[in-house]
Amino acid sequence: MIPAAHDQATERERYLAARVLNALLREDYAGISARVTHDKDGVAIVLASGRRVGLAPGSPFQDFATAPHERLRLAEVLETLKAVAHPADAEGVAAFERECHDALAALDAHHRMRGEVTRRLRGRRGLIRYESLAAAVDHPLYPTARARLGLSPGDLAAYAPEFAPEFAMRWAAAPRERVTLSRPGLPRWWPAPRDVGLPPGLARTHVLLPVHPLTEPLVSGLPGLVAGPRPCLVVRPTLSTRTVEVAERVHLKVPLPASTLGLRNRRSIKPGTLRDGALAESLLRAVLAREPGLRVTVADEQTYGHAEHEYLGWLVRDLPEGQIVPVAALLAPLPGEGGRLVLHEVAGRHYGGDAEALLRDYLAALLAWNVTLFVRYGVALEAHQQNLALVFGDGPMRLLVKDNDGLLASPRRLHAAGIEPPGFGDERMLTDDPYALADVFVTITLHLAAMAVAHGALPGSAATLVARALTAALEPYGDDPMARLLRARTLEAARLTGKSMVVAGTLVAKDRTRAGDVNKFYGTTGPNYLRGA
């Protein structure tokens, strides 16, 4: 959350500048840590200007971070970045500089519109309210997460979830022979050609595809595509921006001409990822059929289609019954409620006001699920706090999991468990390397889904809560080799693996990082906050 201050414009810049410097230190881009000094005055980093900026312990994810009393300007941090950068990274450094300015512009726009956003949120109920609140909470590690490269501040105000807008989808008709549908027929709420201003008879030869208004200019001239002249279907953006709410329990995911969490994280949808995501969901359902004690529900993501193009695909996500609260929303402030968080609202409704009890319950469900996947089945999910939600209904809270096309699975472990490994189109989703699986567990499940949430809510006791939940989740597996490996990489490790998100996402080209997947590039480590907890 952004600190309050009288000089808000300057404070937003200082806030962002500190986050950027902290990320560069955490990932030690281009050996920037060589500028860190330790002397009688404490720990500091010497910027390119010669200025010494004090550092303090950077718990939980890095050794040292910008001291709270320091007042940084973005320009001096970027000047230091350029001073240490390798000449081969000039293009990436320039892109990251744009990313920083885009993030600052997004923060400024959200500040200017805070009154209007609060008014819009008063009219929201249920999941979409929580999605919008969650979008105003910055990513725990990626410093410029507010930036969506390719979108202007005006685009964000009209289409990004933190602004709580609503808009009408555009539609285009593609020749039926070019369209792949995962299921026969289309959802009942799908428009007909006449609804979007096209001749009714077009339904015999074409299929309507949803197109985000920001994507429409990129597809309008494609051969054989017939653009609908009228928008149809009013939607509201969810936390992921490219996924929108159609109805309370129906979400629609469509491609977006933007990048988030790094220049190389494009938000288009490659057709193969739709099938891979559906196969991953089926794999998780097969596991749950064998593990009835796990409190987990998997979202239905089996309905999808595409027209052989990264901007002409879609996915319908059907959500379960019950009250759904995104995990990413738990740390969101409630507007006008004096510092209370969504966490406190949910705890008041379901845990007698005990926020720590809510966190203990969440961590128990989260780690029992992910440890079981890892040890018994050789599966590690890329299910961070944005892809997880809590579901409240009859009985205990359940964990909702969605968007599974980034998981890693071991064919050998699945065979041993009696499950046929999925035939993923993306071969990067299959590996028998247990250390690769452990990297995903540590950087996604442990850092983002567990510690970032617990630390943001209860910093003083977060490490203890996480360590106890992880210990309990591992206990049933005793000396199983996979359990021993996971203990060694988490509870017993001297340091914990970290992802170099800025390095791989924007700063350094893939031919230099040699990253097969920029979301699974591990170039750094951090302190083990679990030891001694």
Residue 338 confidence class, pLDDT cut points 50, 70, 90:
confident
Query: Which pairs from 183-188 meet CB under 8 Å and 24+ separation?
Result: 183/302, 183/303, 187/250, 187/303, 187/316
Overall average pLDDT of the 431-456 stretch: 98
- Taking only the tens place, the pLDDT of each residue in 455-495 is 999 999 999 999 999 999 999 999 999 999 999 999 999 99
Distance CA 322, CA 316 (A): 19
Give which of 366, 255, 251 is closest to 316, Cα–Cα.
251
Question: What are phi and psi for residue 149, nearest 5 degrees?
Answer: -60, 130
pLDDT of residue 10: 85
- Taking only the tens place, the pLDDT of each residue in 372-403 is 999 999 999 999 999 999 999 989 999 999 99
Distance CA 530, CA 467 (A): 6
Helices (H), 28-60: none
Overall average pLDDT of the 20-30 stretch: 98
- Taking only the tens place, the pLDDT of each residue in 128-184 is 999 999 999 999 999 999 999 999 999 999 999 999 999 999 999 999 999 999 999
Percent of the chain with pLDDT over 70: 98
Distance CA 255, CA 212 (A): 7
Overall average pLDDT of the 271-296 stretch: 98
* Relative orientation angle of helices 355-372 and 462-474, to the nearest 10 degrees: 40
Percent of the chain with pLDDT over 90: 94
Residue 5 confidence class, pLDDT cut points 50, 70, 90:
very low
Amino acid at 108: D
Amino acid at 389: A
Residue 6 confidence class, pLDDT cut points 50, 70, 90:
very low
Distance CA 210, CA 217 (A): 13
pLDDT of residue 221: 86
Residue 533 confidence class, pLDDT cut points 50, 70, 90:
confident
pLDDT of residue 523: 86
Mean residue pLDDT of the chain comes to 96
- In a 3-state reduction of DSSP, which class is residue 358? helix
Neighbouring CB atoms inside 10 A of 223's CB total: 6
Structure tokens of 41?
A: 């005055």
Distance CA 324, CA 327 (A): 9
Domains of the chain: 1-78 (no CATH), 292-299+321-527 (1.10.510.40)
Give the torsion through C-alpha atoms of 68, 74, 80, 85, to 10 deg.
Answer: 120
Question: What are phi and psi for residue 154, nearest 5 degrees?
Answer: -65, -40
pTM of the model: 0.96
Distance CA 139, CA 152 (A): 20
In this structure, what DSSP letter does residue 515 have? -
Residue 337 confidence class, pLDDT cut points 50, 70, 90:
confident
Distance CA 471, CA 269 (A): 38
Residues 6+ positions from 127 with CB-CB distance below 8 Å: 245, 248, 319, 324, 325, 326, 389
Q: Is the dihedral of CA 219, 224, 225, 226 positive or negative?
A: positive
- Taking only the tens place, the pLDDT of each residue in 51-68 is 999 999 988 999 999 999
- In a 3-state reduction of DSSP, which class is residue 408? strand
Overall average pLDDT of the 40-61 stretch: 96
Answer whether residue 3 shows pLDDT above 90: no
Answer whether residue 27 shows pLDDT above 50: yes
Residues 6+ positions from 257 with CB-CB distance below 8 Å: 150, 214, 215, 218, 267, 268, 311
Residues 6+ positions from 47 with CB-CB distance below 8 Å: 35, 53, 76, 77, 79, 80
Answer whether residue 214 shows pLDDT above 90: yes
- Taking only the tens place, the pLDDT of each residue in 73-103 is 999 999 999 999 999 999 999 999 999 999 9
- Taking only the tens place, the pLDDT of each residue in 225-245 is 999 999 999 999 999 999 999
Answer whether residue 4 shows pLDDT above 80: no
Overall average pLDDT of the 423-433 stretch: 97
pLDDT of residue 459: 96
pLDDT of residue 118: 94
Q: In terms of DSSP bridges, do strands 180-181 and 300-306 run parallel, antiparallel, or are they unpaired?
A: antiparallel
Give which of 521, 496, 525 is closest to 507, Cα–Cα.
521
